[in-house]
């Protein structure tokens, strides 16, 4: 039986999103901190929010399928269904909040950067973290003493999944690969390598040096805007999450809850600073281009009337001035 073209295309998109969700979950679970299920970086949430932003609310079945496949390891089917519902509702709520705020995928306005971090990340993921942690508590997977630690790790993982994956995919959708001089590519490569080196050192030594990445985020925003800040924040957030999961560098000798709070504070500040600065610069560049276009249009109008002579455009002088 052959599906109609529109329905077949829709089914293929759902399958791709579900597969990406599952693959992201496999990667995220490599850093699981609680019961091999709760991790400080959960890429599938970013996949889900991206699918909704680019494909609309009708992509929710793919999230359900991917989340159910990931959570099928639960022995209790009811727990699997509840966690799947939470993993679906969190991105849906984030998408609805972003749409209500007028979010634009170009992230070329300051309000878009703020909305993505505060609404798409922090606020929307409260839903999934609350449902998931409560389900683990009721199912007996964790005890009451671990509830808030589990909640914070779950919330942190979902938020980082959004803040790491969504900006870079949206940025690369607009990237023009051709037409850039070689020195521009060399500068971009130097920026990425420098960010990686700084964050690697900062997350493996006990000295608290993670703030040293901020000059590189500013460099990325000033020179490349969103296309530059997105990969730099991915590097910074991923290496910070890796350090927090291992308990190394500035996260050494910290309990689970302080580690997650420190990680979330750093990543939230880094991503918001980078996206906000790049959006402000993009707004400034757009305003400058608009002014330049207006000046060009006025110059064309002046040039069009120059053959008539300036005298014909001026009013006649009164008799006493002749």
Residues 6+ positions from 130 with CB-CB distance below 8 Å: 86, 151
Rounded distance between C-alpha atoms, residue 165 and residue 177, angstroms: 20
Cβ neighbourhood burial of 129 (10 Å; 0-12, 13-18, 19+): buried
Q: What share of the chain is helix, strand, coil (3-state, %, to 5)?
A: 80, 0, 20
Rounded distance between C-alpha atoms, residue 201 and residue 194, angstroms: 11
Residue by residue, pLDDT tens for the chain (322 residues) are 455 667 888 889 999 999 999 998 888 877 666 555 667 788 899 999 999 999 999 999 999 999 999 887 655 788 889 999 999 999 999 999 999 999 988 888 888 989 998 999 899 999 999 999 999 888 887 888 888 888 988 898 899 889 888 988 888 887 777 777 888 889 999 999 999 999 999 988 877 888 899 999 999 999 888 888 989 998 998 898 888 888 888 888 888 778 888 888 888 888 888 888 988 888 888 888 889 888 888 888 888 776 555 445 555 556 655 4
Can you give 79-117 as a three-state secondary structure string?
HHHHHHHHHHHHHHHHHHHHHHCCCCCCCCCHHHHHHHH
């Amino acid at each position: 039986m052959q599906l109609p073209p529109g329905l077949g295309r829709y089914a293929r998109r759902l399958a791709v999103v579900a597969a990406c969700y599952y693959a992201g979950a496999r990667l995220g679970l490599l850093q699981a901190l609680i019961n091999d299920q709760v991790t400080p970086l959960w890429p599938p949430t970013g996949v889900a929010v991206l699918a909704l932003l680019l494909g609309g609310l009708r992509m929710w079945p793919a999230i359900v399928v991917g989340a159910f496949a990931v959570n099928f390891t639960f022995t209790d089917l009811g727990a699997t269904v509840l966690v799947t519902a939470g993993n679906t509702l969190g991105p849906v709520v984030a998408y609805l909040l972003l749409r209500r705020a007028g979010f634009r995928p170009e992230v070329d306005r300051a309000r878009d950067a703020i909305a993505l971090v505060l609404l798409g990340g922090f606020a929307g993921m409260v839903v999934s973290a609350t449902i998931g942690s409560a389900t683990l508590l009721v199912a007996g997977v964790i005890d009451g003493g671990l509830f808030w630690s589990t909640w914070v790790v779950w919330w942190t993982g979902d938020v980082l999944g959004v803040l790491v994956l969504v900006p870079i995919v949206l940025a690369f959708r607009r990237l023009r690969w051709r037409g850039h001089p070689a020195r521009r590519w060399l500068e971009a490569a130097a920026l990425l390598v420098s960010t990686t080196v700084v964050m690697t050192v900062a997350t493996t030594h006990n000295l608290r040096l993670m703030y040293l990445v901020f000059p590189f985020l500013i460099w990325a925003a000033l020179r490349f805007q969103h296309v530059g800040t997105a990969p730099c924040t991915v590097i910074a957030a991923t290496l910070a999450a890796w350090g927090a999961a291992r308990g190394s560098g500035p996260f050494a000798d910290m309990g689970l809850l302080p580690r997650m709070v420190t990680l979330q504070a750093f990543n939230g500040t880094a991503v918001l600073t980078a996206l906000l600065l790049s959006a402000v610069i993009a707004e400034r560049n757009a305003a400058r281009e608009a002014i330049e276009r207006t000046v060009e249009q006025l110059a064309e109008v002046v040039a069009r009337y120059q053959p008539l002579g300036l005298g014909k455009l001026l009013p006649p002088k009164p008799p006493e001035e002749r």
